[in-house]
Amino acid sequence: MSPPPGLGSWTVRRARTTPERTALAHGGRRLTYAALDDRVRALAAGLAGLGVARGDRVAYLGPNHPAFVETLFATTALGAVFVPLNARLAPEEHAFALADTGARVLVHAPGADVSDAALQTLDVLAVRSEHADRASLTTLEVGAGYDELITTAATRSDPVHVDPDDTAVLLYTSGTTGRPKAARLSHANLTWNALNVLVDVDLARDEVCLLSAPLFHAAALGMTCLPVLLKGGTLVLEEAFDVDRTLDLVPAQGVTIMFGVPTMFAALARSPRFADTDLSGVRYLLCGGAPVPPSLLEVYAARGLTFLQGYGMTEAAPGVLLLDREHAREKTGTAGRPHFFSDVRLGDSGEILVRGPNVVDGYWRRPDESAEAFDDEGWFRSGDVATVDDDGFHRIVDRVKDLYISGGENVSPAEVEGVLVGHPDVVDAAVIGVPDERWGEIGRAWVVLAPGATSTPSDVLTFLEGRLARFKHPRAVEVVDALPRNPTGKLDKGALRAREH
């Protein structure tokens, strides 16, 4: 009998088609697709024995590890819902997510803070489902109870039938303000996004993807992990990013794809080993979180490497726009054209609106916010402002909420930041609007200078003369060692605003 559709069937199908190929590499351990499928089906049987059933939630807390992938597929094979938790958050934030989702089981890495003290919030949050209470949460530590559950499983569970629109993954968005909310990513959303990647990035069946960016974020999960496994390639999982280890692994593992944020690629380029490391096997550099600076593009171009950049969001699983290799340098600064199965148009004020089979239908237990996220025609409101050129390439201008009004004029911080980093000494910049009695709001800027640079804040402001309208000039500039960024590499404007209070 053929396995049913749905994310939980992928390991069965891969084990049937390419059982001998390596699916996962982690440390000195390698798992073939046949071995991965066996472990997934054993884990599914074990989770079912713990009471996990269709629709229940299973959470995962920890860095990149084969257990993340196994838990994802075992959970969805049962028709249950996988909840990856951001390992960089505080225990109280983990407790909120566990309570908000009503998780039945928590799989966690050794050392993760899952003590009763850390989870006591579960007792007081009135958001758990009617069939999941504090006592029902079972914790499984990787390397202990988790492995025992797999090795002692007497049976293997076959994947159950699911509706493509059933929720497969609850993924909390990376917003820096407001109450956290989890996007309901369905089996169809994740599958169609993976197909977008296969069509637009042209992945091959022998890809070897080095993945040190965290899988609990939509970009690493949706743009690399799932498409590579769907195609039958190999994932080399690293628990954290390290420059020297990355430069060792690329030639040693025959890496063909690397995924990361600009700060990771910049760190590699600064290494004295970068020039001599064999990168000849690398086909793609996938980068997300923030645009790649032109200077960094040139550094990698000198090694014969081109970045694939794009724009996405958790709610689109996450691909929306992609700047392909053919136009990477000609259209530098743009986020590209829409993915093959994604539709994009610009709404009021240039806001990016997205529709397609990869776009979620809303947020977990947030009916009001779900309704507000879509316009009357069913287009998802991104909250981001863009322009589009005659060739269909989109340029992200700013966040709708980041725009500020100075003297009656709209000011885009992203536009100002783009000019600031054009200064020869400035390598990073951030701008926010702050209250002003005369103008309503004025700009406040922070800049990071290149090593050894001696420019002053006054020099930076002088640089803006003739390059920006006067009303767009920040009234103050502060030189800092680094800017606050969230784990996906995006500027944390909330942290900057907090400095002003």
* CATH number of the domain where residue 93 is located: 3.40.50.980
Q: Is residue 366 part of a domain?
A: no
* Whole-number CA gyration radius for the chain: 23
pLDDT for 119: 58
- Token pair for 16: 């049937």
pLDDT for 469: 78
Q: Do 448 and 393 sit in the same domain of this protein?
A: no
- Residue 374's CB is within 10 A of a number of other CB atoms, namely 16
pLDDT in tens, 328-357: 889 988 999 999 999 999 998 899 999 999
Distance CA 24, CA 35 (A): 10
pLDDT for 134: 46
pLDDT for 130: 40
**How buried is 239 (Cβ within 10 angstroms: 0-12 exposed, 13-18 middle, 19+ buried)?**
middle
Q: Is residue 152 part of a domain?
A: yes
pLDDT for 488: 64
Q: Is residue 301 part of a domain?
A: yes
pLDDT for 314: 93
pLDDT for 148: 96
Q: Do 409 and 465 sit in the same domain of this protein?
A: yes
Distance CA 246, CA 265 (A): 10
Q: How many CA atoms within 13 Å lie on the side-chain side of 409?
A: 13
Q: Would you list the DSSP string of 226-290? A: HHHHHHT-EEEE-SS--HHHHHHHHHHHT--EEEE-HHHHHHHHHSTTGGGS--TT--EEEE-SS
pLDDT for 302: 95
- Point out which residues pair with 404 in neighbouring strands: 411
Q: Of 399, 432, 467, which residue constitutes the final position of a domain? A: 399
Say which amino acid occupies 81: V
CA 357 to chain CA centroid, nearest Å: 19
pLDDT for 351: 93
Distance CA 339, CA 47 (A): 36
Closest CA to 45 of 83, 86, 73: 73
Q: Of 399, 434, 462, which residue constitutes the final position of a domain? A: 399
What is the helix (H) or strand (E) element at residue 168, kind and residue range?
strand 167-172
Q: Do 322 and 206 sit in the same domain of this protein?
A: yes
Question: What is the reported pTM?
Answer: 0.83
Q: Do 394 and 442 sit in the same domain of this protein?
A: no
Q: Of 370, 399, 428, which residue constitutes the final position of a domain? A: 399
pLDDT for 441: 86
The answer to whether 313 touches 342, Cβ cutoff 8 Å, is no
Query: Is it true that the peptide bond before 318 is cis, omega within 30 degrees of 0?
Result: yes
pLDDT for 342: 98
Q: Do 55 and 93 sit in the same domain of this protein?
A: yes
**How buried is 290 (Cβ within 10 angstroms: 0-12 exposed, 13-18 middle, 19+ buried)?**
middle
Task: Provide the CATH number for the domain around residue 457.
Answer: 3.30.300.30
Q: Is residue 7 part of a domain?
A: no
Q: Do 206 and 131 sit in the same domain of this protein?
A: no
Q: Is residue 450 part of a domain?
A: yes
Question: Helices marked H in 258-397 — which ranges?
Answer: 262-270, 294-301, 367-372
The answer to whether 319 touches 222, Cβ cutoff 8 Å, is yes
Q: Which residues contact 453 (CB under 8 A, 6 or more apart)?
A: 425
pLDDT tens over the chain, length 501 residues:
677 789 999 999 999 999 999 999 999 999 999 999 999 999 999 999 999 999 999 999 999 999 999 999 999 999 999 999 988 777 877 888 999 999 999 999 998 776 554 555 444 443 444 434 444 799 999 999 999 999 999 999 999 999 999 999 999 985 434 567 999 999 999 999 999 999 999 999 999 999 999 999 999 999 999 999 999 999 999 999 999 999 999 999 999 999 998 888 989 999 999 999 999 999 999 998 777 888 889 999 999 999 999 999 999 999 999 999 899 889 988 999 999 999 999 998 899 999 999 999 999 999 999 999 999 999 999 989 899 999 999 998 877 778 787 876 778 788 889 889 999 999 999 999 998 877 888 999 999 999 999 999 999 999 998 888 788 899 999 999 999 987 667 788 888 988 876
Q: Do 158 and 79 sit in the same domain of this protein?
A: yes
Q: Which domain holds residue 92?
A: 31-162
The answer to whether 7 touches 74, Cβ cutoff 8 Å, is no
Closest CA to 255 of 231, 228, 279: 279
What angle do helix axes 262-270 and 243-253 make, rounded to 10 degrees? 90
Distances (CA, A) of 341 to 199, 321, 391, 441: 9, 11, 18, 41
Closest CA to 321 of 272, 382, 370, 406: 382
Q: Do 61 and 146 sit in the same domain of this protein?
A: yes
Q: Do 412 and 269 sit in the same domain of this protein?
A: no
Q: Is 336 left (phi over 0), alpha (psi -120 to 50) or beta?
A: left
Look at strands 138-141 and 105-108 and give their pairing.
Answer: parallel
Q: Is residue 477 part of a domain?
A: yes
Q: Which residues contact 365 (CB under 8 A, 6 or more apart)?
A: 100, 127
Instruction: Reduce the DSSP state of residue 135 to 3 states and report it.
Output: helix
The answer to whether 260 touches 213, Cβ cutoff 8 Å, is yes
Task: Provide the CATH number for the domain around residue 395.
Answer: 3.40.50.12780
pLDDT for 177: 41
Q: Is residue 176 part of a domain?
A: no
Q: Do 432 and 462 sit in the same domain of this protein?
A: yes
Q: Do 200 and 296 sit in the same domain of this protein?
A: yes
Q: Do 146 and 249 sit in the same domain of this protein?
A: no
The torsion angles phi and psi of 17, rounded to 5 degrees, stand at -95, -45
Distance CA 308, CA 297 (A): 11
Q: Is residue 325 part of a domain?
A: yes
What angle do helix axes 66-77 and 10-17 make, rounded to 10 degrees? 110
Distance CA 325, CA 142 (A): 39
The torsion angles phi and psi of 414, rounded to 5 degrees, stand at -60, -35
Q: How many domains does the chain have?
A: 3
pLDDT for 194: 98
The answer to whether 340 touches 357, Cβ cutoff 8 Å, is no
